[in-house]
Structure 1
Amino acid sequence: MKIRLPFLCLILTCMLACAQDKNPINTENTYDIVVSDLSIPWGFTFLPDKSILITEKSGKLIHFKNGKKTSIKGLPKIYVRGQGGLLDIVCHPDYKNNGWFYFSYASPEGEGNGGNTAIARAKLKGDSITNFQLLYKATPNTTKGQHFGSRLVFNKEGYLFFTIGERGERDINPQDITRDCGKIYRINADGSIPADNPFVNTINAKKAIYSYGHRNPQGMTLHPTTKEIWTHEHGPKGGDEINIIKPGKNYGWPVISYGVNYSGTAFTDISKKEGMEEPLHYWDPSIAPSGMAFISSDNYGNWKGNLLVGSLKFQYLDRCTIKDNKVVAEERLLNGLGRVRSVEQGPDGYIYVGIENIGIVKLKRK
């Protein structure tokens, strides 16, 4: 029997799609668009009055209130290149009383061409920022456009954690604690270094480093029960990871990995090594994760306690069922809607998702 070429191509296409789509598609969720017409909503945070501060990677800070978007003036100079620009944003836990919000961005400040990730705080007054303070600036500057990080999370003790990617210097930065980049950091809310940070007494070490051996962490969240810091990070081709962050630990990049070079060649032949932390979960093929949040409210029934991770590559929200700190099941939500960039649980207990070229949507469940 002859099989026509177009029919054969159709069969092969379907087989490939099925092979890649390992997770079932959920058809029981819907969404409402809360903020429309956003390009790359890299991060967002809710204010006590239920308005939202939103970062656009292009360098715009937007205040969404009463259905209206206002561009906020007074931002520092932002280095927009590749994956760099205006990045994450979070409110101080006591924002209602002190008015501080914190944001990360690619900054050209300092010596050398290009830029690197910076952490700052400011207050909002009308349509402008005030009381701007630069808290941390990674060095050196570089014109490379990849791996800026960067997520921000306050823990229950009021420390600010932030991530900075290894800036494309795989074999130089992540394993060297005397250099910035490829690290997760911890500082006090005023930018000072906590006295019990793991490397404060190590000669020449960057004192703000909390853990090292990371590639490009673009997801970080606080576990609602254990209060541990969870992160995910981009691997190369394969090897995207979820990790629980512990002080002073080495997470292995690029010595251990489940990924390979984008060309398909190997850069390491091991996925575990003594003294290096293994991920609690990894994706192969890579999903290109961005944004991360636990469901801690009762709004979604038996989804409470699930972890949500955005996928840039495959354009869905990954609902991960966790048991004993392992991902035991995954399900695709908002499948094909767009590149998921940011995920937050709002003050109303609902999940809000920043999707490129759409905006911020509110996840519903029938």
Structure 2
Amino acid sequence: MIKYIAIASAATMLLLIRQTATEPMPVAVSNSTLSAFETAQNNYKNFCSSCHGEKVEMFVDRQWKHGKTKPDLIKSITGGYPDNGMPSWGAALKPKEIEELADYILEGIEKGSKYSFAAKPKSNVFASAELTVKLDTVASGLSSPWGMVFLPDGDLIVTDRTGEIYRVGKNQQKTKVTGGPAVLAEGQGGLLDVELHPKFAQNGFIYFSYSAFKTEGNDKLSTTAVMRAKLEGTSLSDQKIIFEAQPYLKTRHHYGSRLEFDRNGFLYVSVGDRGQHVPLLPQSVENDCGKIHRLNDDGSIPTDNPFVKKDKAHGSVFSYGHRNPQGTTLNPTTGELWEHEHGPRGGDEVNIIKKETNYGWPVISYGINYDGTVLTPNTEKQGMAQPNHYWIPSIGPSGMTFVTGSRYPAWKGDLLVGSLRFKYLNRCKVQNGKIVKEEILLQNLGRLRNVQMGNDGYIYVSVEDPGYVFRLVPVPMK
């Protein structure tokens, strides 16, 4: 996100300098010329929208963990709840601005029309520059459908962050799968990704990533974990925890948690920095946070992993210096692992993952702190990889896949990325391993959590709150 102010602070100037040439520059507005409503609206957009939605919509009908009165909101905005990923804004906003922001949120809940909520699509047909698609509903009645994977028989396994697992058959028939892991569904945690073993048809193995938890004294701690099990119909058996990121922490965000098998049968697990970038956990290979891990299918460590022989290093680490990777996919042409991760305010990244490579977080970044202060003066440093692509402002990326098959000839080979913040599917044209052009698809569909290619050659997307899974069906051009 970008902070709009008349007199640019050093942090804002730094961010504006980093603005890509293809991005429209924001218009600076002096808050002294605005009404209290307009000032609060502007502050909401600058400070709150990337997590809570562009138009206050995520506050409607939500469960309020820390209270929903005006004093409760003022307390939350001023001090934050860092362990749950909510930063404090007391240093960035004046007390009057915080009070006006609390009023804005409360009034927005009561009078949504005044706040120009982004209109839901009026049609299930979406036209793009080169292709028109129709949305077919595959599953409904979900909350936050995080992971999707297709079984050989065409059924879909969906994980819901609440902890539920569903098997979806024909005609939207949805059945709960039993035997899943116990999860901590708080903050950004819960039941997250799902992946099949490459030889699932022979061994029935299925993998789940989730936020595991334990209690130490008065503290409930959590971490990213992976469970392997056997799927038989709608039940799981032979459950085995094959990975637990260390250390367990008090925070409830930045779990990462995407799962991906490569062509050689190695399992890659993304783990976020858990909000612990100040002590530089992502820059040390002696812990599991802010890393991409590479495992054998049983959770053991491959002997050719880059840090296996390094003293005190965690042998599962494949790459490091990551913030919160919530998208991984294999390039179908090269077999390379592509990854994207959330930046702070600005600086969401796409990376091609290389063995033993340091991707820089938080030493280098194209983003700034949420409160507008400088996170780091560096966008590059020797020994740290540059992103393949980055977004300013942040789009809140989640889920990614390359378009394969023959159903979408105009999109074949393109990279698709979901946007949580802006509620669209981002189509990235890829040439010679670089993103050269982008197009917004399915605008205002919802917080787009995941996108996958199905066994049938169709593209599937999942959206949150309310949770749906949709199939994209090409419509013949007239």
| 1:148 pairs with one of 233, 255, 267 | 255
Q: Deviations over 1:263-292 (max 9, x none)?
A: 111111111111000001000000000000
Once the two structures are overlaid, the 10-residue window that deviates more, 119-128 or 42-51, is: 119-128
Q: d(CA) in 1 for partners of 2:247 and 2:300?
A: 20
Could you say which residue in structure 2 is the equivalent of 1:91?
196
Whole-Å Cα distance in 2 between the matches of residues 287 and 295 of structure 1? 20
- Percent identity, aligned pairs only, is 49
Residue correspondence of structure 1 range 1-366 to structure 2 within 5 A: 26=128, 28-66=132-170, 67-109=172-214, 113-172=220-279, 173-356=281-464, 357-366=466-475
Equivalent residues of 1:78, 1:85 under 8 A apart: yes
Query: Cα distance, 1:358 vs. partner?
Result: 3.7
Q: Distance in 1 between matches of 2:310 and 2:294?
A: 16
Question: Over aligned residues, Cα RMSD in angstroms?
Answer: 2.1
Deviation at 1:328, TM superposition (A): 1.1
Query: Which position in structure 1 is the counterpart of 2:29?
Result: none
Q: After the TM superposition, which segments of 4 or more aligned residues of structure 1 sit over 4 Å from their partners?
A: 109-112
CA drift at 1:109: 4.4
Structure 2 contact 181–227 (Cα < 8 Å) conserved: no
Structure 1 counterpart SS, 2:202? helix
Compute the displacement of 1:34 (Å). Answer: 1.0
Unpaired runs of 5+ in structure 2?
Answer: 1-33, 46-53, 55-126
Distance 1:294 1:74 in 2: 31
Contact 1:29 1:333 in 2 (8 A): no
Distance 1:195 1:74 in 2: 32
Give 1:70 deviation, angstroms: 1.3
TM-score by length of 1: 0.92
What is the CA–CA distance in structure 1 between the aligned matches of 2:133 and 2:168, rounded to whole Å? 25
Instruction: Give the TM-score of the pair, scaled to structure 2.
Output: 0.71
Inter-partner Cα distance in structure 1 for 2:278 and 2:288: 13
The structure whose residues are more often helix, as a share, is: 2
Between the two proteins, the alignment pairs up a number of residues equal to 350
Larger radius of gyration: 2
- Unaligned 5+ segments in structure 1 are none
User: What amino acid is the match of 1:205?
Assistant: A
What is the CA–CA distance in structure 2 between the aligned matches of 1:84 and 1:35, rounded to whole Å? 22
**Shift, 1:301, TM fit:** 1.1
**In structure 1, what residue type is equivalent to 2:208?**
F
The 3-state SS of whatever aligns with 1:299 is coil
1:110/1:153 Cα in 2 relative to 1: closer, same or farther (>3 Å)? Answer: farther
